[in-house]
Amino acid sequence: MEKYQDLAQDIIKYVGGEENVISLAHCITRLRFKLQDEGKADTDKIEALDGVMTVVQSGGQYQVVIGNEVENVYDTILEIANIQGSKEAPAEEAAADNRSLLDKFIDLVSSIFTPILSVLVATGMIKGFTALLISTQVVAADNGTGQMLSIIGDAFFYFLPIFLGLSAARKFGMSEFTGMATGAALVYPTLPAIMGGEPLYTLFAGSVFASPVHMEFLGLPVILMNYASSVIPIILALYFGAKIEKAIARLVPAMLKNFLTPFLTLLVLIPLTFLLIGPVATWAGQLVGAAATAIYEFSPVLAGVFIGGFWQVFVIFGLHWGLVPIMINNISVLGYDPVVMAHFAASFAQVGVVLAIILRTQDRKLKELAIPACISGLFGVTEPCIYGVTLPRKKFFILSCLGGAVGGGILAAMGARFYLLGGLGVFGYPNFIDVQTNDLAGMYAALLASGVAFAVGLLLTLAAYRQLAADADSRTEAAVATPELPLGGLAAPLTGKIVPLTEVPDAVFASECMGKGVAIEPTEGRVIAPAAGIVTTIFPTGHAIGLTLDDGRELLIHVGMDTVQLEGRYFTAHVAQGDRVTAGQLLIEFEPEKIRAAGFKTITPIIVTNTTNYQAVTATAETTVNFNDLLLTTI
């Protein structure tokens, strides 16, 4: 939070110092101070600060309008000053977020991947087409063209922890560059060479958890693993890293925070990641490998079902590294692998599910994302399918696992074997050819198994799409179909009477300092998503929500004036921060009559908060709108 230090310190100073502050709260755009004496606050100096939009004195509160960064400034003030904060969510909000830990985890991973999905899909397609060009000998893998294409396709995936370090740091509220530095440490170029050398010794030799130690840190054993293309280690590291950074920031003198906080954070976090997160991931992978081997010895078909069904889950958590050594060892010792090869059909099941989504969905943005993901999946690059399409929609991901399980069972039942480590996806069929005897039986088994896995994923998804789509969008029963809008058009998220923004009874919104837009006096107590995007913030009271649409527009929808004071009464949020939403999906329900009876206005501004990115933001000429009527146009 060091980037907000100066602003936070200046605000505290100009409101009369922390001794003049009774308490501090915040809503979705404003710091709300209760001051001992508002006369001691220097409003002119606060309004002149870079990062402050304006100041409003209303209802016994001294309101400093910050905008989208208000929560970061609020957190920083509480870190550096002895000021009482009021940030707890009301009981209504706590009850509303009753998702399981698995749902929360999936939402977390999906939201971290969202900023990088476009590049993930693009590089996935490049990897696939590069494999196609090389396999058909259009280009050679070892010439300049083949090497350059491989660099373009592989670099993003290899250094994925760095990119996830950036987006995870944003998600957890820590320094972005500290997050990237942590990710870079995980893929440091000399690590593979260190791992390839003779180990110093082996921990737990002779057990399932046997772990070679190639280096020590302060005398402690460091158990290394391959973090290239990994996902969970960097996310876990930065989850704890954010807490470490905040704790260090509270202890470091303000004048030294800019360099001493990242200095100490990296010195603690990176060794902690290698000493704890790495070993946990390594041992968990070894345990999975031991379990798979034990199941194979009991029943090869059951092992095929197990590996094929859970392979994508193993990849997400990095646990597949416990199975890869078994596959390599089998091929080197036996000349073939009859165990881990069962994962082969899983990618085809994933592609089948994504293709069904393409055929069924009416969401243009989802389809635009799913089509290239499906293409890269055919070539064995399924990360765009998983992280961009199926995992955020949990039950679709489960269907792909079912298809993988069926395919894995077929491979094992037919006695298929991997004879070499070669291509992925459609280029993986030659891996099943016995090069010693030229026996093609294994390849035929792979063709059958992958085809069945694909069909299972496709047909199950086609048959159950309507119900699964409703479940995946959690609480979408009030979703509204969206019509085509003109270029730059934005659909109305509420029904009601149009009110010019300049007539809103709030100086901040009326002055358009938050951005241009329009207001609606609602006639119905529902707010829907005007387009597909991500919930970037939703206030605990449910009265305001921020969206980042897939086309880059950033919206603030603020139901009523000063309704934060209702502390969640008469509001029900149907989404959480980080959720992906589709056009027409229900976001918030509220009770207009009860809100008005409590003495609050229900007029609702809809603001394009990144107005400066557009030449013009114009409102509809109509006097009333229904859901999904044209409301605003951005140029």
What is residue 470's predicted lDDT score, i.e. its pLDDT?
54
Interior CA angle at 501 toward 48 and 533, to 5°?
90
Q: Cα separation of 258 and 246, whole Å? A: 13
Neighbours of 219 (CB within 10 A): 5
Tokens of 479: 């979703």
Task: Write 589-592 long-range contacts (CB < 8 A, 24+).
Answer: 589/478, 589/525, 589/526, 589/527, 590/525, 590/526, 590/527, 590/542, 590/543, 590/559, 590/560, 591/525, 592/522, 592/523, 592/524, 592/525
Q: Please list the rounded mean pLDDT of every run of 10 residues in the chain (635 residues).
A: 78 89 82 87 89 80 82 84 59 44 74 80 84 84 91 92 91 88 94 90 84 91 87 90 88 80 94 90 82 90 94 84 79 86 94 93 79 90 88 88 96 91 83 85 94 96 75 45 69 92 86 88 91 85 88 89 86 84 88 91 91 86 88 86
Give CA 110 to chain center in angstroms. 3
Give CA 259 to chain center in angstroms. 29
Strands 544-549 and 586-590: unpaired
Task: Write 336-339 long-range contacts (CB < 8 A, 24+).
Answer: 336/417, 336/418, 336/419, 336/434, 337/417, 337/418, 338/296, 338/300, 338/412, 338/415, 338/416, 338/417, 338/418, 339/292, 339/293, 339/296, 339/300, 339/303, 339/307
Verify that 375 and 504 share a domain, yes or no. no
Verify that 534 and 468 share a domain, yes or no. no
Verify that 433 and 531 share a domain, yes or no. no
Strands 21-26 and 85-86: parallel
Verify that 395 and 430 share a domain, yes or no. yes
Verify that 431 and 555 share a domain, yes or no. no
Handedness of CA 529, 531, 534, 539 (dihedral sign): negative
- Give me the DSSP letters along 71-97: HHHHHHHHHHS---EE-PPPHHHHHH-
Q: Domain containing 463: what range?
A: 102-131+299-473
Verify that 342 and 414 share a domain, yes or no. yes
Q: Measure CA of the first residue to CA of the last residue in the chain; give whole Å.
A: 34
> pTM (2 decimals)?
0.60
Exactly one of 27, 374, 385, 401 is catalytic; which is it?
Answer: 27
Q: Cα separation of 69 and 120, whole Å? A: 27
What is residue 93's predicted lDDT score, i.e. its pLDDT?
38
Tell me whether residue 385 is one of the annotated catalytic residues.
no
Q: Of the candidates 347, 349, 342, 309, which has an alpha carbon nearest to the alpha carbon of residue 442? A: 342
The CATH number assigned to the domain holding 13 equals 3.30.1360.60
In a domain, 583, yes or no: yes
What is residue 427's predicted lDDT score, i.e. its pLDDT?
87
Verify that 427 and 495 share a domain, yes or no. no
Strands 580-581 and 604-608: unpaired
What is residue 459's predicted lDDT score, i.e. its pLDDT?
94
Q: Cα separation of 229 and 109, whole Å? A: 15
In a domain, 326, yes or no: yes
Tokens of 89: 């969510």
Verify that 546 and 434 share a domain, yes or no. no
Last residue of a domain, one of 54, 87, 120: 87
Verify that 409 and 495 share a domain, yes or no. no
Residue 134 DSSP code? H
Tokens of 431: 């891996």
**Dihedrals phi, psi of 209, to nearest 5 degrees:** -95, 20
- How many domains in the chain? 3
